[in-house]
Structure formats: C-alpha cells, structure tokens
Structure 1
Amino acid sequence: MKNLQKEFPVLSQNTYLNTASSGLLYDSLLDYRQEHDLDFLIGGSMFRDHQEQFLNTVRKSIADFCGGTSENTVLTPNFSIGFNTILNGLEKNKKILLLDEDYPSINFSVKSKEFEVCYAEVNASLEENISEAIAQYSPDIFAFSLVQYINGITIDLDFLKNLKIKHPNLLIIADGTQFCGTKVFNFEQSGVDILGCSGYKWLLGGYGNGFLLFKEGVLKQLTPNSYLKTSLNSSYDPSYTNIRSRFECGHLDTFNFGSLQHSIQFLSKIGLSEIEEKIKELSTYAKHNFTDLGVLDKVAKQRNDNSAIFNIKGDQKLHNTLKEKNIITSLRGNGIRISLHFYNNKEDIDKLVGILHRYR
C-alpha cells in the first residue's frame, strides 16, 4: 500500500492529516476526468445519449460498495441537499432526535424547518444517552452522523441494529460522510433506514457527488402524497415524475458521479477490509501517542472505538506552526482535528508528535 502514496501529489510536499476536511485528488482520477471531458468535447450532445445507462452503473457501484440495492440508491450532489429533500417530505408534527453539536448540515437543517427537536449528549456514554433520550422523548426520527466530525466519536453499529429491533417504527437516518470508505459496512444488514453520504472525503470522489441509500419501501414513505398523486395523473415521461426523480431532479453531472464511481472502484481494488485494517493500525498508534502526550480529547480516551478522526489540544498558534511545517490539519471545536486515511503512515504521526513534544 505504500506505493499508492505516489498516486497523491499532495503527499510529496505535505504531511496530510486532513481527510475529514477533504479527501485528495489522485493521478488516475485526474486521468479519468480528462478523458471524460475529452469525450464530451468531441461528442457534444451525443456524449449524453447513454447518460441514464451510465448513471445506473454508478448506482450499482455504490450499492455494491455499501451493501445496498441499486433500485433504492439515489444520486445527490451532496448529503445536505439529499437530507433537506428528505426533511421537506416529512410532516411537521414529527419529533426528531439529534445529537448535540452534531454536524450543522443535520442539526441546523432540522431546527430551521421547525420540527420538534430533542437531544442526546455526545460523551463517553453516547449509546446510553441515546437510549435514555428515546425513552424520555419518544421521537419519530433519529438523525445523526455515524462519526462525529469534531472528535471522531463513532456510534456502535451493533447498538443501532438492536435499537431498530427494539424500536421498529423509529426512522433512523445516518450521515456516513465521515464514515463511508473507512470500514466494511453492509447497509441492508444494519439498523439504518437511510444512509446519506457526500463523496469528497474518505471516498476520494471529489466534490459535487453523493448518494442516499434507502431500505425497501422507505423512499415511498417519505414522498408526499401530493407528489405521488400528481405523478400518477401526469403525462410526462416517468423519469421526471417517479419517486427517485424527486431527489434527482434536473441533469446529473456524469463528470462528478463518474469520479465517485472511479474512486469506489479504486478503493475496492485496494480492498476495503485492507483499508479498514490500515486505518485501525494508524488510529491505535495515534491514540497511544496522543494519550501519552496528554493531548487527546477526554471523551475519546474513554471510548474503545477508534475512528479515523481525533481532536487534540491545540490553538490557532499551534495550528499555524503545524501548517508552517507542512502538516495539514483543521481547527475544530476546542482543538485541532487530526484525520487519517490509508495513504498516511506512522511516520506522519511521528512527525506530528515530534512537534507536539517541542510545543508543550
């Protein structure tokens, strides 16, 4: 896997610990993009004659990668647009459980649409807090990020499966943007009803692409009756009026979704289980070093699950120092966010730790 680093030009000049902000463009994806636009250049409208057939292959690639079905896979420019479309199809009397300080694309979107909202606290007892909140508030929907973007806290997938068994009428909506591409995951076997994801982070798909996976029947349940009634009585082509078109209205960009498909195939060729193992190895190594230094977020220290994201003690000054040393991170919450992917190595962590030692 070490030779794969040569695919990523950014790594030749930087220690890149910032995939949680943006995944990297790589050589073979650039080649694909150039070929795509060359085909468009010389083909014009003829290039798009087979657009729908191509997009069907993209849906299948996503479904196969995530353990879903292509029939219940929807393409969307990003998670936020897809999630807001879901919310627009819900009755306003629904009560939605959120996690405090979760990603604004979730929490702000729900609050701004004036749903009744309740919260569970994100701390070392996250799963217990969720169970208690459900018992106390009886929400209709639970919407959350599988991995918290500030500190990398990850919800236990077995907990979600048991939660769905215990509360079969609870609609569980998960944002996998900081998750998909880091671990092997089977959507159909999970407790999640809807999985959404933007493709520009761990999936390395670049910007302007994402997807939603639905369990069987859920997509129809979230489509307003007015839409269903109008589509049934319409003489328009079904591609404009079917349930999927509510999310996929307008032209979809084959450049962006082709990039996502190319990256999914790229990751699949490496092997998602191998990527998971590499990230686990790096995360364990990083957590050990951060704990020894006393810089790790206290909640992360108390959790056994190591995601690809950590939040360490640090301020703007330290962030600037790291940037001067070509170590790329993000300021998030009360500290500095570190995020690791398969193209990182222990030497990257050692370089960071060496500066942290001197900075203390």
Structure 2
Amino acid sequence: MKNLKKEFPVTTNYIHLNTAASGLLSETLLDFRQNHDLDYLVKGSLLKNDQDKFLDGVRKDVGSYFNCDASLVGLVPNFSLGFNAVLEALPKNSKIALLKEDYPSINWPVLSRGFKTCYAIIDENLENNILECVTKEKPDFLCLSLVQYISGIQVNFDFLKELKQAHPNLIIIADGTQYCGVESFNFKESGIDILGASAYKWMNAGYGNGFFLIKNEVASNLKLKTTGFNSVRGAFKEEDDSFIGGLEPGHLDTLAQGSLQASIKLIKRIGQDQITNQIDLLKQKAIEVFSEKKLVDPIISKRAQHSSIFNIKGDQKLFNKLIENNIICSQRGTGIRVSFHYFNSEDDLTKLSRLI
C-alpha cells in the first residue's frame, strides 16, 4: 500500500496503534475544514443558506457508502445521543438482550430506563450464546456492538442475518463505531435493523459527527419522541413524526458533518478494498505474533474471525515503555489495547513486538 505518512502526519513521528480510541486527522480532512471555516469567515450566514442541500448531500454519500437509502440516514453528533433517542421510542415493557460487559454506551442507557434485560456472554462461542439467549428469553430487541472495544471480538454478520431470518420479529440494533470504515458493508442486505456509529475512529472523520441507518419497515413502526424545528426541514424530513426527524431535532454542524463526507471521499479515493486488504494483512500477522508470544487471550485463536483490535498482556511498566518509544496505545481492561488501521505497516508491528 502507498505510503500514507503525508496524508496522516502523526505517523511520521509516532506509531499510532490507537484507532480504537481515536482516529487521525488527515490532510484531506484538514483542507476541507480550513476551507469550510474560511467560507464561513467571509460569507457569514450566506454559507448557511444552502445548509439543507449540503446536509442532504452528506446523507446521500453516507447512504451510498453503506448501501442505505438516503431518506433513511440520520445524522447525529455521536452514537450515544442517537441511541438514547432511539431507546425513548421503544415500548416501556420491551425486553432487550445485551452482551455482558459490552460497551457502556450500549448497556447503560438500556439499564437506566428500566427495561427488562437478558444477557449473552462474550467468549469464543459468542454467536451460540446470543442464539441461546434469544431462543430462551424471546427478547423484543437485541442491542450490541459489532466489535468489542476491549477484546476486539467481532460478531459474525452472517450469523446476525440468519438470526433475523429465524426470528423476524426481533429488532437488531447495532453500534458500528469500532467497525465502520474497516471494510465494505451492505446495510440493506444485513440482518441489522438499526445501525449507528460515531465516525471519529475507523472512518477518521474527526469529532462531532456520526450517523444512524434504519430499515424502512422499522422506521415506519418506531416513533421517536425527540423533536424540534430542524425535524421538519430538509428534503428527507417532511413529517414531524418521522424517524429521521426525531434523530435531528436541532441544527446540524456543517463543519462536523461535512468532515464525515470528506472522510468517505478519502476512503473511496484510496480504495476500500486496499484499506481492507491492509488491515487484514496486519491483523493476521498480529494474531500470529501475539499468539506465539502468548500475549492475547486464547479465545482469539479459537474464533473464525477477529477485528484488528487486540488486548495484549502488559502492566504499567510495559505501557510506559511503549509510550516512551512513541507507540501510542491505550490501557483497557487488564491489559494494553493496540489496534491496526490501514496507515499502519508491518514495520509498526515488528517494532511493537521487539519492545515487548
């Protein structure tokens, strides 16, 4: 893959293995943001006269990237705000299946509303655990992260599709924050009913933007309670009780949402296949190195698939050593989390391995 140090200057001075915490600012994104604010500086409110048209363009690009009708794309500042709005639309007597120790922004909002809950355990048998939970407990909704933020365990998408086919009344709501941008994803063909994500990680879109995608049949049955003047503006928000209108009750930041659009254009320019191939290459080599050194949970080698996020064994001393050697990573759970994106290289993995 071509050298991306110019596109992502941080990689010139650091080995950034921390996309699971935060993506990087690209030169492409910087150019957009500077030009946007320069226009705002010299045009003032004239820039905002076309904001509805501009934001409709963002929805179209998000929908095109994930294969979802633009009319079913909601733009949000982040996943958590959108997810909380969605939960407010669910019947109070709903039963929701969760993953034990999933990301707090998934489980906490569910628990804070007093929904009946049941749980599936996250281990090498994740899919079977979910199936058993759904079959036994018969929940109305399943809410889960597609990729676990500590371990990097990724749920099998074919399984989710089969689960939906076997339980058509089950509504599957997924957080794609640790997944979206890694590979091509066809929302229409997936088993997921609602997919939300913040885009500051694997899409390298900066902060303050995210999106929700929803299947049409679900959108027509769920009425969000959140509303505002912005809910009835724009080509795709003609009714004040529309699902997308409920996700967008107030003004949207064209700088932030435009950053999402710019990041998608960069992904397409580099090529999603090239991005995915590089991540897969690094992921497989990392699994080999970490497994050989017994640095990761044996669960990883037992799974047919895994993300490019790894939690390696290491204490505060090792963490400090990595940071001192310009390797950016995070302490998560009981170990050190490292994550590989397409701007990383095999040399990055080699240097990490030598330091360990």
- Offset from partner CA, 1:313-339 (integer Å, 9 cap, x none): 112221111101110111111111110
Aligned length: 352
Aligned 8 A contact 1:297 1:310 in 2: no
Name the structure 2 match of 1:336: 336
What is the aligned-residue RMSD (CA, Å)?
2.0
Q: How far apart in 2 are the matches of 1:54 and 1:167?
A: 39
Aligned 8 A contact 2:226 2:247 in 1: no
- Offset from partner CA, 1:240-271 (integer Å, 9 cap, x none): 82412211011100000000100001001111
Report the Cα offset of residue 5 of structure 1. Answer: 2.3
Partner of 2:353, secondary structure, is: helix
Report the Cα offset of residue 227 of structure 1. Answer: 7.9
Name the structure 2 match of 1:218: 218
- Offset from partner CA, 1:54-74 (integer Å, 9 cap, x none): 101100110111111101000
Is residue 2:138 matched to residue 1:99?
no
Distance 1:240 1:132, change over 3 A: closer
Report the Cα offset of residue 215 of structure 1. Answer: 0.5
Is residue 2:78 matched to residue 1:78?
yes
Q: After the TM superposition, which residues 53-202 of structure 1 pair with which residues of structure 2 at under 5 Å, given as runs?
A: 53-202=53-202
- Offset from partner CA, 1:258-289 (integer Å, 9 cap, x none): 00100001001111122111100000001100
Report the Cα offset of residue 136 of structure 1. Answer: 1.3
Q: After the TM superposition, which residues 169-318 of structure 1 pair with which residues of structure 2 at under 5 Å, given as runs?
A: 169-223=169-223, 241-243=240-242, 244-318=244-318
Q: How far apart in 2 are the matches of 1:136 and 1:143?
A: 16
**Structure 2 unpaired stretches of 5+:** none
**Structure 1 unpaired stretches of 5+:** none
Aligned 8 A contact 2:223 2:241 in 1: no
Q: How far apart in 1 are the matches of 2:233 and 2:281?
A: 54
Distance 1:236 1:186, change over 3 A: closer
Q: How far apart in 2 are the matches of 1:268 and 1:236?
A: 29
Over 3 Å off, 4+ runs:
235-240
- Offset from partner CA, 1:134-177 (integer Å, 9 cap, x none): 11111000000000111110110100110000000000001000
Partner of 1:196, secondary structure, is: strand
Partner of 2:220, secondary structure, is: helix
Aligned 8 A contact 1:68 1:213 in 2: yes
2:75 partner amino acid: L
Q: How far apart in 2 are the matches of 1:236 and 1:112?
A: 31
Aligned 8 A contact 2:143 2:174 in 1: yes
Q: How far apart in 2 are the matches of 1:15 and 1:190?
A: 34
Give the alignment's TM-score, normalised by structure 2: 0.95
Give the alignment's TM-score, normalised by structure 1: 0.94
Partner of 1:4, secondary structure, is: coil
Aligned 8 A contact 1:331 1:337 in 2: yes
Name the structure 2 match of 1:11: 11
Partner of 1:110, secondary structure, is: helix
Aligned 8 A contact 1:76 1:210 in 2: yes
- Offset from partner CA, 1:209-249 (integer Å, 9 cap, x none): 0000000131232205x789x99xxx999768241221101
Q: How far apart in 2 are the matches of 1:236 and 1:203?
A: 27
Q: How far apart in 2 are the matches of 1:227 and 1:221?
A: 15
Aligned 8 A contact 1:2 1:343 in 2: no
Report the Cα offset of residue 115 of structure 1. Answer: 0.5
Report the Cα offset of residue 91 of structure 1. Answer: 1.1
Q: How far apart in 1 are the matches of 2:146 and 2:59?
A: 22
